[in-house]
Structure 1
Amino acid sequence: MISKSKVLSCSLFLFCILSKLDLVESRTTRNETDIQALLAFKARIPVDPDGVLTSWNDSQHFCSWQGVTCGRRHQRVTALNLSSLKLAGELSPHIANLTFLRVIDLRNNNFRGLIPQEVTRLHRLEELALTNNSIGGSKVFYYLQTTSLGNISSLLQLSMMQNYLEGNIPSELWQLSDLIFLQLSSNNFSGTVPRQLYNISSIYHFSLADNQLQGQIPPHIGFTLPNLKFIYLGMNKFSGPIPTSLINASGLVQLDMGSNALSGPIPKKLGSLQNLQTLNFATNFLESSNDLNFLTSLTNCTHLISLGLSQNNLTGVLPDSIGNFSANLFQLRIGVNYISGTIPKEIGNLVGLQWLGLYENMLTGSIPDSIGKLSKLKYFYAFTNRIIGDIPHSLGNMTQLIVLHLFDNLLEGGIPTSLGNCNYLEGFDLSWNRLNGTISKEVIGLCSFSIELNFSSNSLTGTLPPEVGNCKNLDFLDVSSNKLHGEIPSSLENWQIPDYLGELPLFTNLNLSFNSFEGKVPTKGVFDNISAFSIVGNNELCGGIQPLRLPTCPTEIAKKGKKFPRRAILVTGIVLFVVLFLICIYAIKRRMSLSKEREGTASPLEKNHLKLSYAELLHATNEFSSANLIGKGRYGSVYKGILSFDDQTVAVKVLNLQQRGADRTFKAECEALRKLRHRNLVKVITSCSSIDFQGNDFKALVFELMPNGSLETWLHPTPSSTELHNPPSLNLIHRLNIAIDVASALDYLHSQFDKPVVHCDLKPSNILLDADLTAHISDFGLTRFLSETTEESVTGQSSSMGIRGTMGYIPPEYGMGKEISTRSDVYSYGIVLMELFTGKRPTDSIFTGELSLREYVKTAIPDHVAEIVDTWLSFEDEAVFDQNGQSSRGIGNVRKCLGSVLSIGVSCSADSPSERLNIGDVLRELHKAINMLLGDQRRRALQDSVQQ
């Protein structure tokens, strides 16, 4: 008989066994859930080029599968890390069954489609990283908007950068109250940023860059996001001022708001951000009110390594305190502004600089010798300023230089031989200065390392050193438009064209044009490809390959190792020429004459420009068809064209050479466009002087196409222009921008070029608008370069020799035989300005007798402005328009602004030249007018919205 104690013991043992079996079964069930979820996830990934998911099988425990991490206690999946594995597919909704998931990291793959709604069931999720995939569509966040995000309020990091997300950023993201890392950059989000997003106080990384977002950055952002360390809002359409409250986010390390439409001043107390390393406000409309002292404040940021302020409206003189920046500063970009004065010698203190951009400003004076202390500098851009004096020899101390661009200045003297020390120099451009002296063998020796050397458009003398033949890496050499002489070094035959450039038939690698080279042109190496070099404008050359059509070189008769004397060669050449002349028929003589003429007239724009033939332009414009005709003037017609070799859309101006003065106009326009460079002048691509298929002369200019046509078509729309611009109207902000653009271009012509330049034919049809409605002055056929001291035409031409310009825009002094002056352009500008805001031409039928456009405007100022403005302008619409749909300015401000602008037009168009405003003063008055309208907002701040 079994005792009760033994029965009890057996029962307890059996109970324990059964309990453990139940526990095992329970664990197996839970593990099976994760296994099935992972396999379902794998099933949606058809592309796995490296086979990383092949380990997901029964041969090993699922916690050992690649990319899978499990918790130690429960053996449940806690992390899924499959980043950078080239996977492609869709996100499976079964991922929600991995209920213990804390991390989903699928970065740098090719997942596409939407985010499954089931993700919101992962209430333990802390990190969701899908950066650099193909997640896209306007409904990608649909389920996150319609399903409570409170279920995943534990989320700390959300990274969706570099996908195809679009639409609005959902305001429901504010429910992620513990979020510290938000990265939505490089997508296509639009609209405004939900205000609630700026209230997640825990965020330290806030990145919305490279989208289509607009609106203003909240002024309180520094208070509501006090933990910010990294904020990236660049490459959007944000407008308004930079919030001064940012100084309260004292932990800021990187601050990037570049490439927006921000306006107003740069806060002066940013220097209190002691941890700041990167500051980028480039490509906005920020201003400094002639005061750059905010730079002094930034010198307190002792950890600053990168400062970007280029492409703004900054004015003033660089302070000496710039030398107090941290020695760790390696990047300083302040190009494309209106900064004046000299380069402070204290800049030599920035010994850590590797990138220095001062280009396209109004800098004067010389380059300080102290700049040679920047021994780590690799990129130095100071082009398009008014810098004078010699190039410092100390630049040779910058032995790590990779790019040195000083072109388009007023530099004098020679090219320092010390620059031969810069053995890493790849891009070296000193063109368009006043340099003289010779090109030394030390300088030309740079071609052994460089890719580009450009010394064109100076006054360099002497011969081209034979060391030029040692160019091993050089792709481009331009010494055109100098005073070089002697023979072209035969060593240049050793210079071979890289294959990838040899395939481009219109690329000129070697430009020796417009010097005084003489003798035989080599025929090997670069010289065996007619499209790879240019030697036009050297009248003493001979030989070369057949397409050059140069005269045959005199036969060399060697005697005791010596050639004939130069006089004997010259006499022999003359005799040969006479004999050949007598036996040639008239047609050949005529053809040679046309060829010489073609070389001469094509010359002005051959600096760095493509060479296009008549046949290529004929093909590009569909044989100059009427369907491609986009404009017609006195001296020619303009056609839209597409260049076959790069699909670039261009505007081709074909001169009507039957019209008297057309050839002179062509030469004048080429000369002007060859010298002038400004962002508000139309960009020329090349010129073409050739012969058509009937043997007639053909001349054309090729420009960058302005897709929005001329200002004329917007102010006075026709049925055809209405089809292009629907509706054909410009609002107040657009018109103010255009007025400032044109004034900026004239200011450059009148006072920022080395000699004053007068356009002579300013009118709406010569003002072209690009895709952003930025204005560009075109048509320089009547342009005149004046004496710098007397401001008289260098040709001595009086206006009495022919009225220059278009009726209605011609200043009255021309009719009295007065000399051409910059005040003439100011008169035309005043007329254009009044036409821009009234919508009435100066030749309108209502202007008869004593009533002119000027008197019409003058009598309406200031009380009756509303009665004369263009009917397309609505005071009410302008008054209430704002990014946020709220009134930001009243009708009174609009009226005052218009009154001020029209007053400028009246002052500019005074009968007496001495009573007219200087164009520089016009610019300042226009800025005051726009500030009167917008207060702390500024140019183009609303432009993106008004195009909706």
Structure 2
Amino acid sequence: MAMGVMSFLWSLPAVLMIVMVIASDEAALLAFKAQVSDGSSLASWNSSADFCSWEGVTCSHRRPARVVELSLDSRALVGVLSPALGNLTFLRMLNLSFNWFHGEIPASLGRLRRLQRLDLNDNSFSGKFPVNLSSCIRLNKMGLHNNKIGGHIPAELGEKFISLAVISLRNNSFTGPIPGSLANLSYLRYLDFSANQLVGSIPPVLGSIQTMRFFSLSQNNLSGMLPPSLYNLSSLEIFDISHNMLYGSILDDIDNKFPNINGLYLGNNYFTGTIPSSISNLTNLIQLSLGFNRFSGYVPPTLGKLQALQHLHLSDTKLEANDNKGWEFITSLANCSQLGFFRVSGVIPADIGNLVGLTRLAIANNYISGVIPESIGKLENLVELALYNNSLSGLIPPSIGNLSQLNRLYAYYGNLEGPIPASLGELKNLFLLDLSTNYRLNGSIPREILKLSGLSWYLDLSYNSLSGPLANEVGSLANLNQLILSGNQLSGKIPDSIQNCRVLDWLLLDNNLFEGSIPRSLTNIKGLATVGTILLSLLVIVLVWILRRKLRQSKKTLVKYSVAENHYERIPYHALLRGTNEFSDTNLLGRGSYGAVYKCVLENEDRTLAIKVFNLGQSRYSKSFEVECEAMRRIRHRCLIKIITSCSSVDHQGEEFKALVFEFMPNGNLDGWLHPKSQEPTTNDTLSLAQRLDIAINIVDAVEYLHIYCQPLVIHCDLKPSNILLADDMSARVGDFGISRILQENTSERVQTSYSTIGIKGSIGYVAPGN
């Protein structure tokens, strides 16, 4: 009996230690939960269940069980990080990415000596780099990108994190120079410091990190010459130093330095000299960006050897491509899917049809003369053809009708002549056609073109010498957004069938020979040019004068908001399902390409909400959801639509579900008021002059905030009446940020991508210049 008592007493400290350890880990997790204002994702976190079974928590198999992983990415969690996380001393992985955490990263995380992976990407963390993390000597992956962390990158980063293999600080607010101590990270293979405000030169000692495979310092304010030592990074696959202020020339034997490179981005700098022909030996190269530099000389014809090349960017350089050198290079790139050149001269070669793999051909704003060769019809994979602002003359070859995949054709500002070939009516995938301002294009508009029901963006045939009546088939363009026929010699009556263009938003028919009156069905179309254009212009001048006076007054009451104040509640999927009567058509407010918007009344609440449900059938709609979330979490203004929360979940059928929840706007959108469905306007569906001015001021206030006071700056990209919502007092709110651009502070002119195509991002007629 005595021995049993003694044995129990000896084991009691161990038992108490186990109990204390378990209580410590559980208490740390509950303290973390207490700082999160959205608890629905952490519903399983309660004392009725073992904490090792809680969502996102992984424990060790040893006894007592300790928390070794905490993974709660993409849970829409909002709050600050509790310092108690530093008590999870056995933690090996902490992943809280794609949430809405804000505030500073607690110094207590430095106590996590066993931590190997830290993912805090895509939040709103601020403050300075958490130097205390330097105690986490086992850390091999650190992800802090897409936050608001600032200050200098500390030298400790390269002095203490000896095991670090991956580090991403992209899209933050770091300033100052790049510390040379990073050269001590002998295991580093991935480094991304892009989209910050770093200054100074690139430390030459970084060329000693032989394990480096991904190296990006783009979109900063780095200057000086490119250190020759960087060419020693022979294992590099991606090398991106674009959008800086670097200068110098490219090493002649670059092929011997980067044998494995597949992405080389040197664009938007001040590099000079010639492009070395040795680039042609980089056989793995897929992306090559050299545009917006000061290169000179000729494009090396041997670039045609790059059989894997998919994207080539040489825009806005001093490179030349003439008859002897340039076209030899162009016709050799038969496997390059996208071509864009500047300062090309000469004529388009007759054998250009040999580029059978080409999907995009952009030879615009150049010195091209001669005719469009018949062989262009052999480019059957072409989806975009841009030949505008050249000196091309002659006929449009009927063989263009063979380009069955073509969806965009630009050939404006040229000297093309003769009739428009009827074969263009074979381009069933065409949704944009612009042949304007050639002046010598003549004849009638082919009926076959007017039957292209796929034309959904715009048809611009203005300022040519087209004549004859406008065929009734124009009504077949049911999805057309813009129809511009100004400056021709078209005659006859304006067809009533134009009213069948259901979404026609802009119609210009001025400077023609049309007879009779304008059909009544056209009087509400915004861009219609009539005899009253001059009087309308005078009225606009007066309104602008009044608007500017009111704007000056409104600036005195401009309200600025801090994104750090945003705290969003959590509304689960099933609550949205019930509040919309299972997303029934009776609650449908509108539908677009991204998805649909529903009216929602939550149970046991008086308020009404608007639910924007995204169509996830295509990746671009999912991206639109991400872009709008990113934009809305950063902005707050009285003239911007107020976001309540987001919902990223699984619906009742097991499919992915993404939605944004906004305040409900009882008066709909501005487009509905400018173009009421009723043919007879009444006082209930029209806007007074005072209301129009107030709405305009609200919009200008919103844009001023986005472009000047918001940090970082936001460009809406699709500001149109249907995206202007009206509250119960008829005040305006700007909404729909699905394609907006978020610009880094002080670097707005450099953040835009170098690889944008000529295709327009946004709605025709409302796209911002340069978008």
Deviations 1:664-720 (A, max 9, x none): xxxxxxxxxxxxxxxxxxxxxxxxxxxxxxxxxxxxxxxxxxxxxxxxxxxxxxxxx
Please point out which of 406, 418, 430 is paired with 1:450: 430
Q: Does 1:480 align with 2:462?
A: yes
- Alpha-carbon distance, 1:15 to partner: 5.1
Is 1:377 equivalent to 2:350 in the alignment? no
Aligned partners of 2:362, 2:189: CA distance in 1, in Å? 35
Indicate whether 1:306 and 2:280 are aligned.
no
Report the 3-state secondary structure (helix = DSSP H, G, I; strand = E; otherwise coil) of the residue aligned with 1:461. strand
Match of 1:750 in 2: none
- Given that 2:496 and 2:521 are in contact with CA atoms closer than 8 Å, whether structure 1 keeps it comes out as no
Q: Which secondary structure does the structure 2 equivalent of 1:365 belong to?
A: strand
Partner residue, 1:71: 60
Change (3 A) 1:76 1:527: closer
Question: Which structure exhibits the higher relative contact order, with contacts defined as CA atoms closer than 8 Å and separated by 6 or more residues?
Answer: 2
Question: Secondary structure of the residue that 1:423 maps to in structure 2?
Answer: coil
Assess, with a 3 A threshold, how the Cα gap between structure 1 residues 109 and 373 changes in structure 2: closer, same or farther. Answer: farther
Corresponding position: 1:533 with 2:516? no
For residue 387 of structure 1, give the secondary structure of its aligned residue in structure 2.
strand
Match of 1:100 in 2: 90
Shift of 1:329: 1.1
Structure 1 residues 73 and 460: alpha-carbon distance in aligned structure 2, compared to 1, 3 A threshold: same
Distance 2:178 2:747 in 1: 23
Q: Please list, as runs of the form range in 1=range in 2, the aligned pairs for 1:17-56 lying within 5 A after superposition.
A: 19=10, 22-48=13-39, 51-56=40-45
Q: Report the counterpart of residue 615 of structure 1 in structure 2.
A: 539
Could you report, residue by residue, the CA deviation over 1:723-777 in whole angstroms, capped at 9, with x for unpaired residues? xxxxxxxxxxxxxxxxxxxxxxxxxxxxxxxxxxxxxxxxxxxxxxxx9999xxx
Is the contact made by 1:99 and 1:123 (CA closer than 8 Å) also made in structure 2? yes
User: What letter is aligned with 1:424?
Assistant: Q
Match of 1:160 in 2: 144
Which amino acid letter does the alignment assign opposite residue 509 of structure 2? I
State the partner residue of 2:472: 490
Does 1:280 find its partner at 2:268?
no
Contact in 1 for aligned 2:492/2:513 (Cα 8 Å): no
2:313 matched residue in structure 1: 333
Whole-angstrom distance in 2 between the partners of 1:254 and 1:201 = 18
Please state whether the residue corresponding to 1:313 is helix, strand or coil.
Answer: coil
* Alignment partner, residue 211 of structure 2: 227
Secondary structure at the counterpart of residue 304 of structure 2: helix
Equivalence for 2:384:
403
Q: Residues 794-873 of structure 1: matches in 2 within 5 Å?
A: none
Change (3 A) 1:406 1:111: same
| Residue in structure 2 matched with residue 89 of structure 1 by the alignment | 79
Q: Please tell me whether residue 121 in structure 1 is matched to residue 111 in structure 2.
A: yes
SS at match of 2:419: coil
Report the count of equivalent residues: 544
CA contact (8 A) 1:318 1:344 kept: no
Distance in 1 (CA, whole Å) between partners of 2:504 and 2:538 is: 17
Tell me the CA shift for residue 89 of structure 1: 1.2
CA contact (8 A) 1:90 1:112 kept: yes
The 1:182–1:432 alpha-carbon spacing in structure 2 relative to 1, beyond 3 Å, is: same
Counterpart among 260, 264, 269 of residue 248 in structure 2: 264
Q: What does the per-residue CA deviation read over 1:453-496, in whole Å, with 9 as the maximum and x for residues that have no partner?
A: 10112222221111223232322111122222221122113334
Could you list the per-position Cα deviations for residues 87-130 of structure 1 after superposition, in whole angstroms to 9, with x for gaps in the alignment?
11110100011011111111111111111111111111122110
Question: In the TM superposition, what is the alpha-carbon distance from 1:29 to its structure 2 partner?
Answer: 1.9
Inter-partner Cα distance in structure 2 for 1:299 and 1:441: 42
Q: Return closer, same or farther for 1:612/1:298 CA change in 2, 3 Å cut-off.
A: farther
Establish whether residue 61 from structure 1 lines up as the match of residue 44 from structure 2.
no
- Report the residue type matching 1:183 in the other structure: S
- Counterpart position of 1:178: 163
Deviation, structure 1 residue 444: 3.8
Q: Does 2:120 match 1:130? A: yes
Q: 1:241 to 1:618 in 2, by over 3 A?
A: farther
TM-score normalised by the chain length of structure 1: 0.54
CA distance in structure 1 between the partners assigned to 2:218 and 2:38 by the alignment: 34
Name the residue aligned to 1:7: none
Q: Is 1:241 equivalent to 2:225 in the alignment?
A: yes
SS at 2:85 equivalent: helix
Q: 2:369 aligns with which of 363, 377, 388?
A: 388
Aligned to 1:440: 421
The corresponding residue for 1:907 is none
Q: Which amino acid in structure 1 is aligned with residue 225 of structure 2?
A: P
Distance change in 2, residues 1:624/1:76 (3 Å): closer
Is the helix fraction higher in 1 or 2? 1
Instruction: For structure 2, list consecutive stretches of 5 or more residues without a partner in the other structure.
Output: 524-528, 553-638, 641-745, 750-771
Q: CA RMSD in A?
A: 3.2
Give the direction of change, closer, same or farther, for the CA distance of 1:395–1:87 in structure 2 (3 Å limit). farther
When residues 183 and 548 of structure 1 are mapped into structure 2, their CA distance, relative to the original with a 3 A threshold, is closer
Using the alignment, how far apart are the partners of 2:237 and 2:193 within structure 1?
A: 16
Where 2:223 maps in the other structure, the secondary structure is: strand
Q: CA deviation at 1:625?
A: 7.6
Identity level (%): 32
Mapped partners of 1:234, 1:411: distance in 2:
38
Q: How does 1:623-772 map to 2 (within 5 A)?
A: none
Task: Note if contact 2:175-2:197 (Cα within 8 Å) is conserved in structure 1.
Answer: yes
* 8 Å Cα contact 1:132/1:163 also seen in 2: yes
Distance 1:120 1:531 in 2: 59
Give the AA of the match of 1:237.
Answer: N
> In the alignment, is the contact (CA less than 8 A) between 1:192 and 1:214 conserved in 2?
yes
Q: Which runs of at least 4 in structure 1 moved beyond 6 Å after TM superposition?
A: 527-531, 546-549, 623-628, 771-774
Quote the residue 1:665 is aligned against.
none
Partner Cα distance (2:28, 2:551) in 1: 62
CA distances 1:804-829 after superposition (whole Å, capped 9, x unpaired) = xxxxxxxxxxxxxxxxxxxxxxxxxx
CA deviation vs aligned residue, 1:275-309 (integer Å, no higher than 9, x gap): 10111111222222xx33x2x21122211110111
Q: Which amino acid aligns with 1:545?
A: P
SS in 2 for 1:410: coil
Q: Decide whether aligned partners of structure 1 residues 464 and 19 sit closer, same or farther in structure 2, where only a CA change above 3 A counts.
A: same
Q: Is the 8 A contact 2:494 2:514 kept in 1?
A: no
> For 1:394, what is the secondary structure of its paired residue?
helix
- The counterpart of 2:400, out of the listed 404, 408, 419, is 419
Q: 1:394 to 1:72 in 2, by over 3 A?
A: farther
The 5-angstrom pairing of residues 7-22 of structure 1 reads: 16=7, 19=10, 22=13
Distance 1:772 1:59 in 2: 51
Match of 1:505 in 2: none
Q: For the structure 1 residues 254 and 521, does the alpha-carbon distance in structure 2 shift closer, same or farther, using more than 3 Å as the test?
A: same
AA aligned to 1:61 is D
Correspondence 1:345 to 2:321? no
Q: Is the 8 A contact 1:187 1:210 kept in 2?
A: yes
Name the residue aligned to 1:569: none
CA deviation after TM superposition for structure 1 residue 184, in Å: 0.5
Residue 932 (structure 1) aligns with:
none
CA change 1:39–1:355 in 2 (3 A) is: same
Comparing 88-97 and 22-31, the one that deviates more = 22-31
Give the letter for the 1:154 counterpart.
R
Cα deviation, residue 367, structure 1 = 2.6
Given that 1:209 and 1:234 are in contact with CA atoms closer than 8 Å, whether structure 2 keeps it comes out as: yes
How far residue 524 of structure 1 moved from its aligned partner, in angstroms, is 3.5
| C-alpha distance 547-53 of structure 1, shift in aligned 2 (>3 A) | closer
**1:249, distance to aligned residue in structure 2 (A):** 0.5
Output the CA distance in 1 between the equivalents of 2:279 and 2:419: 43
User: 1:79 is paired with a residue of what secondary structure?
Assistant: strand
Cα deviation, residue 430, structure 1: 0.5
Paired with 1:627 and 1:160, the residues of 2 have a C-alpha distance of 41
Structure of higher CA gyration radius: 1
* TM-score normalized with structure 2 length: 0.65
